[in-house]
Chain A
Amino acid sequence: MTTAALTRRRTRPRSAGYWLYLLPMIAGTLLIVLLPFAVNVFISLFRWKGGVAPMRWNGLQNYVDLLNDAQFWLAFKNTIFMIVGIVVIPTLLGLLLAAMLFDYIGREFGGKAAAFLRATYYLPQILPIAVAGFIWSWVLATQNGLLNSVIKALGVTSPPDWLGDPNIAIYAVMLMLIWLQLGYPVVIFMAALQRVDPELYEAASLDGAGWWRRFRAITVPQIRPEVFVVVITATVGALKVFAPVLILTGGGPEGSTVVPSYYSYRNFFELSKVGYGSAIATAMSIVIFAVAGVMLWLQRRSAREEAVG
């Protein structure tokens, strides 16, 4: 029996039969991801209004047009605001809050208080984006908006027109994104802090290190792997932001809050410039892959250094 099993295993190549298990995933990826993406790239080489309209070969002209399209560049400039609102501010704030909750409130007021506060920070993360988008279009409304009602109650007579003023609308969108995103880094960093050796902290505080020194010398370096994960996933998310812009501003006022994904949506479904929309989507994918590739490389290098040092 045993020898039979062994010889059977030896005569058959070890991994061949496993391909059957991969079949659903490979077929799915081909049909739902790779083929549609290839078709998208193909469409981006045409002028096409969609539907039964004729497809006219356009070569790389759509991409040339993109490079000369001010709206497209503005969309990428706005992506930087999205990165500030989704990556930079929530990660920094999240580090501080996670350290506060874990290292201070958890210790002084008990784990339940810390867990409760963490849950309130995380709550926006589980809302459907359609609900969060409605809530914030209501928070930021000029007439009877929550924020302006509070500002008026404080005695200011002409509060800002958050979503109507092209100079500030992008900051209004950022407010919502910070609110949405904050809980993600807090939860991940707090979980990460649990594997930091408490003796490190004890030793440091006995050495007279204050909270801020402990934060910089222990907390941040110890949870660097998790910081990387948060920064990478959040950056990819920031490059893809769509629903908040569609629901809050529709890219307006005066195109001031257009982001790449929304710009492609507009070309697909509102302007019927399907070829051009596909070119935007392709360009976006390339940027995302490039940015993520660089970050993953940095992450790997940092992990290697850690292993060596």
Chain B
Amino acid sequence: MTATIAPDREATLPTPTRRSTQRRRRSRPLRWVILAAAIVVALVMLAPLVLLVLNAFKTGGDYSAHGPLALPTEWSLKSFQDYLDRVDFLRALWNSVVIATLVALLGTLVSLLSAYAIGVGRVRGSTALLAVFLLATMLPQEALIYPLFYGAQATGTFNTVWSVIIVFTVLQAAFGTYLLSSVMSTLPPSLLEAAALDGAGRWRILWSVVYPVMRPTLSVLMVFFFVWTWNEFYIPLILLSDQSVQTVPIALATLQGQNSIDITSLNAGSLLSLLPTLIFFIIFQRTLSRGVTVGSVK
């Protein structure tokens, strides 16, 4: 294949300079069409968010007078004030930070431990275990929620952050174990044997050999667990019905049903609620795009 192309290239193609001018001339109109298409898609994706920001800075009166597409007649913070009056946003923010941070840390730790046993230790029945963890990631939350609801009540964790932290640590770690054990099984055995010959036990090998090698993957996993847990909806909605323990997204969702609230206040609340993940996204943009690739290993 390559052999047949190579002489062909010599024979039919002109010198590099002529080739590039020819190519540019041929594709010039097309390149702008394609760029325009990509930008149009980007604008469609961004339009709702841009309008969300615009309308968050309007007053309710301005909104009903001029509609959602107009610029604010006067940039006002009243809608933010109104949202903050109705929702204890700092409280919700604190709850979300506590839940997402603890789940990210614990979930990654549990994933590391169990993937070490499966990927490095190759315990008996590890294939079956991985199959169970994979099923756990696919199971619809509806099939767990009612027993979890009663379980949380029976253990006194209902309406506390702990119910949600425990549930998501396990659910995220099921995915994490699945992912990490496939990465760990590719570690060169010589690396581990050398450490074992030096007399290092399993615990020492885990922290002095395996952990440093796995660190980049672990940090990606942690970012993912944080964002996923932050954004979770169904289980927190059911297990955290009391306002004092609600997360940022659930606080917004419960207000949305009320008719008395201005749409601009909900705009302001949405903006406040998406800012933490947006900031997180910008900080970890590189990690995230690397991470989606890691996620595709499975």
Task: Tell whether, in the assembled complex, residue B139 and residue A37 are in contact, meaning their CB atoms are under 8 Å apart.
Answer: yes
Per-position binary interface string of chain B over residues 106-137, scored 1 when its CB falls under 8 Å from any chain A CB and 0 otherwise: 00001101101110111110000100110110
Task: Tell whether, in the assembled complex, residue B144 and residue A130 are in contact, meaning their CB atoms are under 8 Å apart.
Answer: no
Interface check A216, CB cutoff 8 A: no
Task: Tell whether, in the assembled complex, residue A32 and residue B296 are in contact, meaning their CB atoms are under 8 Å apart.
Answer: no
Q: Which of A104, A126, A261, A282 contacts B34 (CB 8 A)?
A: A104
* Interchain CA distance A5-B197 in the complex, whole Å: 7
Task: Tell whether, in the assembled complex, residue A32 and residue B123 are in contact, meaning their CB atoms are under 8 Å apart.
Answer: no
Interface check B101, CB cutoff 8 A: no
Across the interface, which residues of A come within 8 angstroms of B151, CB to CB? 31, 36
* Interchain CA distance A130-B277 in the complex, whole Å: 13
Across the interface, which residues of A come within 8 angstroms of B13, CB to CB? 206
Task: Tell whether, in the assembled complex, residue B147 and residue A128 are in contact, meaning their CB atoms are under 8 Å apart.
Answer: no
Interface check B94, CB cutoff 8 A: no
Across the interface, which residues of B come within 8 angstroms of A17, CB to CB? 121, 202
Interface check B298, CB cutoff 8 A: yes
* Interchain CA distance A308-B137 in the complex, whole Å: 31
Across the interface, which residues of B come within 8 angstroms of A292, CB to CB? 138
* Interchain CA distance A136-B45 in the complex, whole Å: 12
Per-position binary interface string of chain B over residues 266-295, scored 1 when its CB falls under 8 Å from any chain A CB and 0 otherwise: 110010011001101100010001001101
Question: Contacting chain A: which of B72-80, B213-221, B244-252?
Answer: B244-252
Interface check A191, CB cutoff 8 A: yes
* Interchain CA distance A150-B51 in the complex, whole Å: 12
* Interchain CA distance A28-B169 in the complex, whole Å: 9
- Minimum Cβ distance to chain B for residue A78 (Å): 15
Task: Tell whether, in the assembled complex, residue A135 and residue B69 are in contact, meaning their CB atoms are under 8 Å apart.
Answer: no
Task: Tell whether, in the assembled complex, residue A21 and residue B167 are in contact, meaning their CB atoms are under 8 Å apart.
Answer: no
- Minimum Cβ distance to chain B for residue A81 (Å): 18
Task: Tell whether, in the assembled complex, residue A130 and residue B249 are in contact, meaning their CB atoms are under 8 Å apart.
Answer: yes
Give the dominant DSSP class at B's interface: helix
- In chain A, positions 141-196 with a C-beta closer than 8 Å to chain B are 144-146, 149-150, 153, 179, 182-184, 187-188, 191-192
Task: Tell whether, in the assembled complex, residue A134 and residue B252 are in contact, meaning their CB atoms are under 8 Å apart.
Answer: yes
| B44 nearest CB neighbor, chain A only | A179
Across the interface, which residues of A come within 8 angstroms of B277, CB to CB? 126-128
Task: Tell whether, in the assembled complex, residue A289 and residue B138 are in contact, meaning their CB atoms are under 8 Å apart.
Answer: yes
Across the interface, which residues of A come within 8 angstroms of B2, CB to CB? 203
Across the interface, which residues of B come within 8 angstroms of A123, CB to CB? 45-46, 49, 281
Across the interface, which residues of A come within 8 angstroms of B230, CB to CB? 128
- In chain A, positions 22-55 with a C-beta closer than 8 Å to chain B are 22, 24-26, 28-29, 31-37, 39-40, 43, 50
Since A25-B110, A247-B253 are in contact, a sample of 19 more A-B pairs with Cβ atoms closer than 8 Å, ordered by chain A residue number, is A5-B197, A9-B196, A17-B121, A32-B167, A105-B35, A117-B39, A120-B46, A123-B45, A126-B278, A127-B277, A138-B68, A146-B48, A179-B45, A179-B48, A191-B293, A265-B234, A277-B146, A278-B143, A292-B138
Give the interface of A toward B (CB within 8 A).
1-2, 5-6, 9, 15, 17-19, 21-22, 24-26, 28-29, 31-37, 39-40, 43, 50, 97, 100-101, 104-105, 108-109, 113, 117-124, 126-131, 133-139, 144-146, 149-150, 153, 179, 182-184, 187-188, 191-192, 203, 206-207, 225-226, 229, 236, 239-240, 242-243, 247, 260-261, 264-265, 268-269, 274, 277-278, 280-282, 284-285, 288-289, 292
The list of the 10 closest CB pairs from A to B, nearest first, reads: A18-B121, A36-B147, A130-B249, A28-B170, A25-B114, A128-B249, A18-B117, A281-B143, A39-B147, A191-B293
